[in-house]
Structure 1
Amino acid sequence: MPTLYHHPLCPHSRFVRLILAEYGIETTLVEERAAERRREFLTLDPAGKTPVLVDDDGTVVPGASVIVEYLEDCLPPDFRGLRLMPLGLHERIETRRLIEWFNVKFFDEVTNYLVMEKVYKRFLAPEIGGGAPDMDLLRVARANLRPHIRYIGYLTEARRWLAGESLTYADFAAAAHLSCVDYLGDVPWDEDETVKHWYQRIKSRPAFRPLLADRTPGMTPGPVYAELDF
């Protein structure tokens, strides 16, 4: 059984967990606090970032985007399920563009600030960056979130799913980041009904259930985090 080194509130880890679940790939989860820079973990990935997948044959696949491309390449030719990377060239470009949007831009502007300040710093020693959250950074992240919500609303008004008419990796990338922000109670769901309805649809998929059961010690999830109809 493959092993995934992850953190429960790392959005990139959540993205990979959703894809693994969607494709029905059972995985052993190993929680990793990447900031502690554990020697054994750095041996797997010198970058020291979650997630890292170790396949049954020992193949080490680091990073969310690399992992999902690897999983796509490993699907058998006769795979009959829903393929999350479209076949059409333009649809593939749009899917990859949006994966990059959420895993890089959204992360840099929103998720990284919120998760680092409200979660990771609680469990780090002061000498490696632990301590109280920086309230200025939290305000910046919440302000940055709103244009992203509007952009998701723009996409979902024009399309059935984010990258087009079919469910793709792009939807799971966006949902992974929003799920972290939602756990922390910071998503303004009342600002865009279109975004809310899109998230309800993807949140209702069986692949999402393990994420909704996640709990971080000492942190109660947001009021609608586990609700499918909110």
Structure 2
Amino acid sequence: MWQLYQFPLCPFSRKVRLLLSEKGVAYELERENPWEGRDEFYALNPAGRTPVLRNAERNITLVDSRAICEYFEETVDKTPMIVGTAQNRAEIRRLVALFDENFYNDVTLPFLNERMKKRLFMRAPPDSQLLRSAMKLANDHLDYMDWLIDNRPWLAGSQMSLADLAAAAQISVADYLGGIDWSGHEQTRGWYSVFKSRPSFRPLLSERMDVIKPPSHYADVNA
């Protein structure tokens, strides 16, 4: 059995959870709080970052969400997530990088720092200027997603792909922390509502962090 070492508001852990569920791969969750710095976890991943996927029976340890997703693309035929022509696959990987890197650094990370890290560990108020800047950048990203959805059934093409999973994982964390203003983004909002209705996504929406609560619309599949 696979064991996924993850943190509930880690978007990269969420991306892997979505992929494993869509592919029907059984796994157990192991909560790994990044602030604890456990020696046992550093032995699995010296970088100390989630997610890490471990199968003790097979002596396999996988680190980094993109590497984990590519591993299961290569080893599990069900529900392929990097599909199509070479050009299509390149576009999927481009968008995965866009959300894993740009969206994360522009939006998700600032909200994690200001709304979670400062509150739980630093006992300090969030920087409102940084939050306003992150929300503006979130709006820019959603504008681009609106354009993609206007021109394609899914973000990278004609069918759901790893690009959609990466985007939904990042947006779900930012949305939990109050970082998404959906007004004026009906295309992306509709796309995200479809994701919220999928069986793979429902467990993510039901989880809650101690002290930090999401907005009322967070788990509403119609919102």
TM range (shorter): over 0.9
Task: For 2:157 and 2:60, locate their aligned partners in 1 and report how far apart those are by CA, in whole Å.
Answer: 33
Q: Which residue of 2 aligns with 1:164?
A: 157
Task: For 1:145 and 1:189, locate their aligned partners in 2 and report how far apart those are by CA, in whole Å.
Answer: 10
Q: Which residue of 2 aligns with 1:90?
A: 87
How far residue 185 of structure 1 moved from its aligned partner, in angstroms, is: 2.3
Q: Which runs of 5+ in 1 are unaligned?
A: none
Match of 1:104 among 95, 101, 105: 101
Match of 1:206 among 199, 207, 210: 199
Match of 1:194 among 184, 187, 200: 187
Q: Which residue of 2 aligns with 1:28?
A: 28
Q: Which residue of 2 aligns with 1:4?
A: 4
How far residue 100 of structure 1 moved from its aligned partner, in angstroms, is: 0.4
Moved over 4 A (4+): none
RMSD: 1.4
Task: For 1:4 and 1:132, locate their aligned partners in 2 and report how far apart those are by CA, in whole Å.
Answer: 32
TM superposition score normalised by structure 1: 0.92
Check conservation: 1:96, 1:170, Cα contact below 8 A: yes
Q: Which moved more, 1:216-225 or 1:102-111?
A: 216-225
Task: For 2:62 and 2:161, locate their aligned partners in 1 and report how far apart those are by CA, in whole Å.
Answer: 21
Question: Does the C-alpha gap of structure 1 residues 140 and 36 become closer, same or farther in structure 2, counting only changes over 3 Å?
Answer: farther
Quick one: which amino acid aligns to residue 101 of structure 2?
A: V
Q: Which residue of 2 aligns with 1:71?
A: 72
Query: Does 2:30 correspond to 1:37?
Result: no
1:113-162 C-alpha deviation (Å, 9 max, x unpaired): 101221233333x4xxx643333322221121111010110100000000
Quick one: which amino acid aligns to residue 48 of structure 1?
A: G
Q: Which runs of 5+ in 2 are unaligned?
A: none
Question: Does the C-alpha gap of structure 1 residues 156 and 36 become closer, same or farther in structure 2, counting only changes over 3 Å?
Answer: same
Q: Which residue of 2 aligns with 1:183?
A: 176
Identity %: 39
1:143-187 C-alpha deviation (Å, 9 max, x unpaired): 211110101101000000000011000001000011111112221
Check conservation: 2:135, 2:181, Cα contact below 8 A: no
Task: For 1:43 and 1:135, locate their aligned partners in 2 and report how far apart those are by CA, in whole Å.
Answer: 38
Q: How many residues align?
A: 222
Match of 2:116 among 109, 114, 119: 119
SS in 2 for 1:222: coil
Quick one: which amino acid aligns to residue 135 of structure 2?
A: R
